[in-house]
Structure 1
């Protein structure tokens, strides 16, 4: 009896070790292969500036309260409060010590699109790499080159304030296993080039789903409710449903494009709340890109 018990315990121990090993392997940080960042040609700074606006980088990475030209000093420091703790936005200025001035393109790109830190650790999805994962290598490279042209700041953002168990970065591998993907959020039949461009902008650099899609208790998107509206992270009201079954139900594609450019709805209401910053960035895009975003939103299934 004792011998059988010991064998059973031993077998369970082996299974447990194997299970832990499998978890570590499956959930390990997975950067792009180095070749992903090769052969991209000379950086296009004009495109990099456009990608910068698409991504709304300035909205989070400027110093709190900064305005005008000071907004381009990307010293970070914004505190983002969540159910999991408070995240402090980092400095992404070209400063060699406090910012990303000494980073390589691969280090920057893997952080942005794979959620892998410079030290090889998992990053928290407060950086919306779950959306940026859809960005092309060329857009990432051009953005990186543009960021290098901006003013330096030697300010270091405070560390995140994350309690147990969310401060265990190994667990983020499990979160990625469940929720991280670089595949399209929706499959649209007969999507033309304009809709495909809009899908790229909305699902990728524009990261619209980060606010407009509801989440489960682990912070993952409810995939069947893509862009169907969500709780306001600032605490009051709700982020609207922007599928054809929600706020934009009666809007034409032209109405949506005009709203992104001017900040005025068809009813002559003006943009408000956190959307003010988003609309300001959208206004800097080309007319074609704003129209592509509108076409994609109108092509979505109504929720």
Structure 2
């Protein structure tokens, strides 16, 4: 019947238009020239601070590494998530297996836009959704510091993802929803400098929200529940609520938080455990001023109920 043929034709046309629109909208977007001009020459000494604030060794060092071996960024850690297993790559200075051939612009596009030098999307297991809030000058400093680290041969294994998560192009649509360079928490003009400095460290290079905030069905962070705690990406554990309410760490003083980040001991003299061990090790490398700023920010973050389901008491 003519009307049926017209209907089929309309569906085909709409499907084609939708496919073309999806292809265009999902295209990788690189940094503009104005942002790249802000990179500057880079300072390796300042870059060391960013390296530890960003926890680069936590994912990119060989699992179980200690001491100077944590600076051999060969990759290989397996991150098992509901979307599949992600494996952080070699980011050492080896030009073939690592990123030794990358320019500072390449690193900036990777960290701020989640785009590889070859123009592909990176998966957001690489926390560029947080790094997107970083200053370009800090990226240049980090690049300069990475150049001082050793080249290590050997490629890390690839990711193991099922359909449709193995289609990288789809990440472009994810980015439209979740990639932003704007702060998560707004503070009034004239807020204390430590709070603002802490916001930058926590929301940007520190990427604390990547673990401490619950996610939606698409794996995006629920900013309305910022730092409210979450079900761990791996296993059945939980990542605690670190907001300022009674469900979080409202009972901790700013000094308690800063001391915990430096020493690994809670106000009750318990010690850091789990994945936080490596994070605390990185935080201990920062300045006392940085840790105080992080503490000031966490005390200023609005309280939220726990972002993970209630647990039944053990029988």
Question: What is the TM-score of this pair, normalised by structure 1?
Answer: 0.95
Paired residues for 1:2-151 under 5 Å: 2=2, 4-151=3-150
The answer to whether the aligner puts 1:300 opposite 2:305 as a matched pair is: no
Alignment of 1:243-282 (within 5 A): 243-245=243-245, 246-282=247-283
Aligned to 1:223: 223
Higher mean displacement: 181-190 or 64-73: 181-190
Structure 1 alignment gaps of length 5 or more: none
Per-residue deviation at 1:224?
Answer: 1.2
Distance between the aligned counterparts of 1:178 and 1:265, measured in 2? 37
How many residue pairs end up in the alignment? 302
CA distance in 1, matches of 2:8, 2:200: 52
What is the CA–CA distance in structure 1 between the aligned matches of 2:286 and 2:264, rounded to whole Å? 14
- Structure 1: how far apart are the matches of 2:29 and 2:221? 21
Single out whichever of 159-168 and 229-238 deviates more from structure 2. 229-238
The secondary structure found in structure 2 opposite 1:106 is: helix
CA displacement, residues 98-137 of structure 1 (integer Å, 9 cap, x when unaligned): 0011111111111112111121111111100100000110
Q: Look up the match of 2:308.
A: none
Alpha-carbon distance between aligned partners in 1 of 2:188 and 2:37, rounded to the nearest angstrom: 33
Cα deviation for residue 62 of structure 1 reads: 0.6
Which has the larger displacement, 11-20 or 143-152?
Answer: 11-20
Is contact 1:253-1:298 (8 Å) kept?
Answer: yes
CA deviations 1:172-216 (Å, max 9, x no partner) are: 112112222221112223533221111110000000001100111
Task: Report what 1:153 is aligned to.
Answer: 152
For 1:295 and 1:210, how far apart are their aligned partners in 2?
19
Contact kept, 8 Å, 2:38 with 2:136, in 1: the verdict is no
TM-score (norm 2): 0.92
Q: Is the CA contact (8 Å cut-off) linking 1:34 and 1:106 kept in structure 2?
A: no
Distance in 1, matches of 2:105 and 2:17, equals 32
Deviation at 1:236, TM superposition (A): 4.1
Aligned-pair CA distance for 1:60: 0.8
Partner of 2:161, secondary structure, is coil
